[in-house]
């Protein structure tokens, strides 16, 4: 079940929301939300609900053991991390490792695991690990109530696509939260904006992007290559940020406050800044639980650069079991390092050029994130910058991109930061302030919601990029 489905919008979520309003006590609300979360996960992955429950119980048990036997805290932490990464490695990376070994040692015929990856395993595994690691660091007491920890790990708004929430951020909210009308209104507003991002923009952009990326390499032209890269750059932003908005909105409607996950990343003026604005919860996780423990920037420049390469390589691998994802991570790590070496200071002086540089680096990176073959990605980039590399005459672009895609592309360009700059950082910010909560905004949101339902009822193309991560 995904947020942008009629079953979720018309049955599951309204029912859970109404019941949560009838049940006033947080203790019983937690039971309701936990049950709803397990149903939500089992709807799409019934055979993997036991894996989720085992993960919850394992992390809860190791937390209790760490508190009861302080002398063995390090051992219990190590066992917990091995357990979590073991599950993640088996279900997500087993065949990737075997395929790689086949290429390295073709003489040995290795068997295949043939497992289906559980939905959201990367998200709930990282989230569970934060609980035990921070417990080891003494940031809070072990959670003795299994139901509370189970709700933290499996809470359906952020179970399958984040944001990755740290336990310390919601610990107190488990037992002390208020579902006020103001918070409900704010959450509803945020949810509808996110739904519009996903259904109206991301789904339409996906139609054009998928059509272009499906073309044979020999049919790729310069125009098609640029259009495909640009459409996918917008699609992945609106797809993922839309889901994050919906998760944050639903959290507020149930009394939880989740931190932001995106901050207009396409306004960034460097790759370093881009990673402070893109998928903030994941970047924060790797910085706090990997980069800093590795030594961060405290052990000299060379060690800092090695740490950055390790972090970005694993960031890419987190996204998918394929070398193109690892390459995408290392690609961003390379530009992050050269900015530390001096390019960053130069970029601050090159107004305008710094934005063009950043956007081009990100856009080209998304090509390799999207393609299944590195060779295809290289050919596509060559077509973008070398006219002779592409086909002399390819398919008419308007056979692949219709009016809906063009509208989504134009709206996506404006909404990825331009309008926000105009109405928040200029004299027009007064107009932006009046818009929020106004009758005009409520009418706009009602129209967006109605339009989304109409599109979904007509079985509109509804892929979800981060569903497989």
Active-site entry in 319, 332, 379, 404: 319
Task: Judge whether residue 136 has pLDDT over 90.
Answer: yes
Kindly tell me if the per-residue pLDDT of 466 is higher than 80: no
pLDDT tens track for 336-395: 999 999 998 999 999 999 999 999 999 999 999 999 888 999 999 999 998 887 776 777
Tell me, letter by letter, the H, E, C secondary structure of 255-316: CCCCCCCCCCHHHCCCHHHHHHHCCHHHHHHHHHHHHCCCCCCCCCHHHHHHHHHHHHHHHH
Residue 262 to residue 241: CA distance in whole angstroms: 6
Give me the pLDDT at residue 236, please.
95
Q: Residue 421: pLDDT band by 50, 70, 90 thresholds?
A: confident
The mean pLDDT value for 409-428 works out to 83
Residue 175 has pLDDT above 80, yes or no: yes
pLDDT tier at 114 (50, 70, 90 boundaries)? confident
The encoded tokens of residue 188 equal: 């509803």
Region 206-234: mean pLDDT is 93
Q: Which residue has the higher pLDDT, 393 or 183?
A: 183
Task: Compute the average pLDDT of residues 243-257.
Answer: 94
Mean pLDDT taken over the chain: 90
Tell me what the mean pLDDT of segment 447-457 comes to. 92
Say what the pLDDT of residue 468 is: 59
Question: Residues 358, 268: contact at Cβ < 8 Å?
Answer: yes
Check whether 331 has a pLDDT greater than 90: yes
Dmax over CA atoms of the chain, in Å, equals 71
- The average pLDDT across 261-277 equals 95
Answer for the pair 448, 196: CB distance below 8 angstroms, yes or no: yes
DSSP 321-367: SSHHHHHHHHHHHHHHHHIIIIIHHHHHHSTTHHHHHHHHHHHHHHH
Q: What percent of the chain has pLDDT over 70?
A: 98
* Annotated domain spans of the chain: 6-177, 183-269+352-468
- pLDDT at 13 > cutoff 80: yes
Average pLDDT in the 253-271 region? 94
pLDDT confidence of residue 458: 84
Among 185, 154, 186, 191, smallest CA distance to 170 is for: 154
pLDDT for 148 beyond 90: yes
Q: Which residue has the higher pLDDT, 25 or 407?
A: 407
Mean pLDDT of 65-72: 93
Mean of the pLDDT values across residues 303-324?
92
- Between 28-37, 79-88, 211-220, the lowest mean confidence (pLDDT) is in 211-220
319 is an active site residue: yes
The answer to whether residue 205 scores a pLDDT higher than 90 is yes
**Phi, psi (rounded to 5 degrees) for 116:** -95, 130
> How far apart are the two ends of the chain, measured CA to CA in Å?
15
3-state helix, strand, coil in the chain (%, to 5): 75, 0, 25
What is the Cα–Cα distance from 187 to 179, expressed in whole angstroms?
A: 10
Query: Residue 177: what pLDDT?
Result: 86
Q: What is the pLDDT of residue 467?
A: 61
| pLDDT tens column, 157-172 | 998 887 999 999 998 8
Task: Determine the pLDDT at residue 469.
Answer: 62
Tell me, what's the pLDDT at 104?
79
- pLDDT above 90 covers what percent of the chain? 68
């Amino acid at each position: 079940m995904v947020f942008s489905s009629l079953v979720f919008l018309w049955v599951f979520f309204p029912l859970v929301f109404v019941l949560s309003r009838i049940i006033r006590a947080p203790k019983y609300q937690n039971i309701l939300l936990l049950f709803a979360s397990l149903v939500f996960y089992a709807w799409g992955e019934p055979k993997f609900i036991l894996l989720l429950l085992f993960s919850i119980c394992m992390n809860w048990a190791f937390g209790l053991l760490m508190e009861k036997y302080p002398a063995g805290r390090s051992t219990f932490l190590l066992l917990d991390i091995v357990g979590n990464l073991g599950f993640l490695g088996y279900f997500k990376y087993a065949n990737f490792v075997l395929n790689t070994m086949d290429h390295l040692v073709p003489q040995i015929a290795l068997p295949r695991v043939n497992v289906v990856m559980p939905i959201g395993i990367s998200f709930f595994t990282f989230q569970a690990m934060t609980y035990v690691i921070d417990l080891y660091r003494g940031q809070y007491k072990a959670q003795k109530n299994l139901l509370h920890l189970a709700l933290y790990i499996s809470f359906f708004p952020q179970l399958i696509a984040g944001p990755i929430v740290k336990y310390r951020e919601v610990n107190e909210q488990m037992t002390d939260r208020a579902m006020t009308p103001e918070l409900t209104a704010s959450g509803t507003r945020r949810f509808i904006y996110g739904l519009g991002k996903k259904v109206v923009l991301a789904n339409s952009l996906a139609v054009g992007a998928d059509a272009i990326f499906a073309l044979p390499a020999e049919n790729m032209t310069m125009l098609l290559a640029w259009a495909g890269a640009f459409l996918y750059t917008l699609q992945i932003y609106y797809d993922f940020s839309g889901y994050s908005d919906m998760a944050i909105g639903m959290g507020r409607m149930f009394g939880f406050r989740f931190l932001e996950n995106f901050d207009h990343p396409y306004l960034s003026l460097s790759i370093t800044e881009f990673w402070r604005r893109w998928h903030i919860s994941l970047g924060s996780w790797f910085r706090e639980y990997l980069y800093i423990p590795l030594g961060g920037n405290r052990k000299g420049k060379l060690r800092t650069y090695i740490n950055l390469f390790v972090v970005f390589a694993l960031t890419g691998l987190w996204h998918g079991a394929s070398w193109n994802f690892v390459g995408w991570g290392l690609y961003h790590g390379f530009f992050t390092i050269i900015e530390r070496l001096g390019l960053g200071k130069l970029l601050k002086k090159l107004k305008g050029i710094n934005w063009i540089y950043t956007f081009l680096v990100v856009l080209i990176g998304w090509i390799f994130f999207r393609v299944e073959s590195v060779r295809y990605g290289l050919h596509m980039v060559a077509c973008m910058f070398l006219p002779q590399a592409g086909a002399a005459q390819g398919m008419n672009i308007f056979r692949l991109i219709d009016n809906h895609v063009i509208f989504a592309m134009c709206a996506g360009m404006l909404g990825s930061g331009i309008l926000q700059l105009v109405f928040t950082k200029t004299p027009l910010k007064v107009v932006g302030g009046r818009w929020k909560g106004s009758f005009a905004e409520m009418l706009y949101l009602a129209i967006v919601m109605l339009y989304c339902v109409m599109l979904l009822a007509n079985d509109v193309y509804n892929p979800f990029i981060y569903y497989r991560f």
